[in-house]
């Protein structure tokens, strides 16, 4: 297993593997999202309290989950890069940040659209909403910090420290509805019995589709990061010539 792990961390090997994986992830993501949207917007019954307005759930909740998952991936990759000095780990963190920022922005935007008819306002300084907004600022801070350094190694180290420190915000987001008096509803998608299956399976399809979409875009961006970091390597010139 460790041999496979170290081989995967090799930029030439990863570059080839990613190129083969991207089409599979992309097609699977497209099919799952299409099935989830059809199931959620057409087949699922209206909610007994929120009526048809609940259907934004099928974009909002997967986006919110992915916003945290991508940050966790970014922080773990950054920590690996700091501890074991793996260039590819830093590249994973750098490639993940813009994707995670977009998922977070989507979660905040769809949450505001959902909140207007349900709460009567676009925004409240609720613990869940505020901590999710802080997550967006962490992503933007990471991106801004990286771009402030001309030296790539210094940028990797400085942004990695910020990513690792910022992971403390993830349990705050997840448990905010438990720790504080929140108007935001609790977890439903991943809680057994919280949703009827007719409503739940489209949401799970959307979640899987968003996760595979992240994987596909991550690999596309990672290949670009590898090219940027290995532009003087002999193996890359051979690959590009072919």
The pLDDT tens digits for 34-58 are 999 999 999 999 998 899 989 999 9
Domain ranges of the chain: 18-241
Q: How far is the C-alpha of 97 from the C-alpha of 93, rounded, in Å?
A: 6
DSSP annotation string for 115-161: HHHHHSSS----HHHHHHHHHHHHHHHHHHHHHT-SSHHHHHHHHHH
The CATH code belonging to domain 18-241 is 1.20.120
Tell me, yes or no, if the pTM score tops 0.75.
yes
The pLDDT tens digits for 119-165 are 899 999 999 999 999 999 999 999 999 999 999 999 999 999 999 99
């Amino acid at each position: 297993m460790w041999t496979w792990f170290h081989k995967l961390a090799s930029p030439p090997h990863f570059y080839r593997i990613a190129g083969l994986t991207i089409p599979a992830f992309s097609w699977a993501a497209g099919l799952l999202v299409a099935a989830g949207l059809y199931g959620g917007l057409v087949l699922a019954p209206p909610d007994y309290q929120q009526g048809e307005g609940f259907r934004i759930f099928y974009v909002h909740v997967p986006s919110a989950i992915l916003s945290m998952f991508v940050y966790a991936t970014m922080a773990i990759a950054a920590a690996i890069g700091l501890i074991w000095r793996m260039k590819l780990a830093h590249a994973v963190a750098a490639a993940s940040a813009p994707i995670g920022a977009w998922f977070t922005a989507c979660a905040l935007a769809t949450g505001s659209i959902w909140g207007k008819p349900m709460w009567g306002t676009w925004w409240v300084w609720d613990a869940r909403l505020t901590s999710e907004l802080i997550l967006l600022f962490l992503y933007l801070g990471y991106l801004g910090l990286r771009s402030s350094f001309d030296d790539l190694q210094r940028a990797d180290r400085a942004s990695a420290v910020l990513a690792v420190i910022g992971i403390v915000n993830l349990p705050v987001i997840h448990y905010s509805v438990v720790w504080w008096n929140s108007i935001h509803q609790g977890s439903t998608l991943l809680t057994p019995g919280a949703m009827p299956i007719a409503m739940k399976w489209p949401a799970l399809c959307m979640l899987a589709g968003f996760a595979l979409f992240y994987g596909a875009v991550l690999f596309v961006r990672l290949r670009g990061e590898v090219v940027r970091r290995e532009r003087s390597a002999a193996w890359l010139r051979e690959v590009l010539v072919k």
